[in-house]
Amino acid sequence: MSESIPLGLVGARGYVGAELIRLVAAHPRFTLGFVSSRERDGQRLGDHEPAYAGDLRYVNLDAGAAAGQGADALVLALPNGMAAPFVAALDTKARRTVVVDLSADYRFDDAWHYGLPERTRASAPGATRISNPGCYATAMQLAVAPMRAALAGPVQCFGVSGYSGAGTSASDKNDPDKLRDNLMPYALTGHVHEREVTRQLGHPIEFMPHVAPHFRGITLTANLHLADATTLDAVRSLYAAAYADESLVRVVDDAPWVSRIAGRHGAEVGGFTLSADGRRLVVVATLDNLLKGAATQALQNLNLAFGLPETMGIPT
């Protein structure tokens, strides 16, 4: 029997932490070494996550204590701005521990591997400091990257996310009563994902995010201006070739629906529409913000970091 690989999870109470617990509980190699949550300290993990059948209890560990647990990997599912103490403690006490950070804290740090496997898996082997891409940023890159060489001018991306993307801390953006029959725009310029995708694609992106009343799932509509006229057949062929070997990306002809992707681990890209002159292309991408936009992608990155098949433990 293959040796198990213990993981620690900090920020286990949130939506993404819960999804990752379920994935790890069913994984053939990874095991949960500890799960840290201030609010649930001492409570049985199985009482909150029935998918986990063991006796593990939540703990409340500071950065130094988390680094001293001896886990082979640590997943940080914390709000932006909170990862640094944990990384510093690991750099001092357990430098070989693999870190996957789900926040935006290290997405602009060249010393960290940016873990969007469909675009960056070639540089994944040996990485011990891995920054998980943002959910919207994943959808934008999957929608735009195959056309990168053909672009002329900024790409406009209109995004709509379920309110789970706003996390568990109370706010207008995750209040079902305020969102009912509503669409809430926010951070319409300068959003961190706008800067993230501009950096990763090396091309200007203009991003306009919105929150909708549904719980999970992202619809991302990208408006691409092209340097030269093209045809729909050429576009479809380009996307089909780009994602032919990607088990977690499906290219579809019709515009994908968010209700079809919710609860699933991959992404859909399609809805290809050209202007009459062939120089403006609209592409739609959908994914589950908690899964391919976060927990599933983290597991892809963990699998790659430990030399396992990339989709091990991920239902496809």
CATH superfamily of 5-133+293-305: NAD(P)-binding Rossmann-like Domain (3.40.50.720)
* Residues 60-72, mean pLDDT to the nearest whole number: 96
Which two tokens mark 291?
């899964």
Query: Is residue 27 within 8 Å of residue 41, measured between CB atoms?
Result: no
β-pairing, 184-185 vs 205-211, is antiparallel
Q: Which of 60-69, 139-148, 171-180, 206-215 has the lowest mean pLDDT?
A: 171-180
User: CA torsion angle for 47, 53, 58, 61 (degrees, to 10)?
Assistant: -160
Residue 181: pLDDT band with limits 50, 70, 90: confident
Which two tokens mark 189?
């310029």
- pLDDT at residue 261 is higher than 60: yes
* Residues 39-47, mean pLDDT to the nearest whole number: 94
DSSP code at position 243: T
Topology agreement, domain 5-133+293-305 and domain 135-289: no
Residue type, 165: G
- pLDDT at residue 177 is higher than 90: no
* Strand ranges across the sheet with 218-225: 184-185, 205-211, 155-161, 218-225, 280-287, 267-274, 249-251
Distance (Å, rounded) from C-alpha 245 to C-alpha 308?
17
For the chain, domain boundaries: 5-133+293-305, 135-289
Mean pLDDT of the chain: 94
* Strand ranges across the sheet with 98-101: 30-36, 5-10, 73-76, 98-101, 129-131, 113-114
Choose the catalytic residue: 78, 104, 135, 179: 135
Residue type, 316: T
Residue 310: pLDDT band with limits 50, 70, 90: very high
- pLDDT at residue 87 is higher than 90: yes
Give the length of the chain.
316
- pLDDT at residue 290 is higher than 60: yes
CATH of domain 135-289: 3.30.360.10
Query: Is residue 310 within 8 Å of residue 121, measured between CB atoms?
Result: yes
Distance (Å, rounded) from C-alpha 218 to C-alpha 7?
28
Distance (Å, rounded) from C-alpha 253 to C-alpha 269?
8
* Residues 225-239, mean pLDDT to the nearest whole number: 98
Per-residue model confidence (pLDDT) at position 166: 58
Angle, alpha carbons 7-200-75 (nearest 5°): 10
- pLDDT at residue 167 is higher than 80: no
Per-residue model confidence (pLDDT) at position 171: 57
The reply to whether 157 belongs to the active site is no
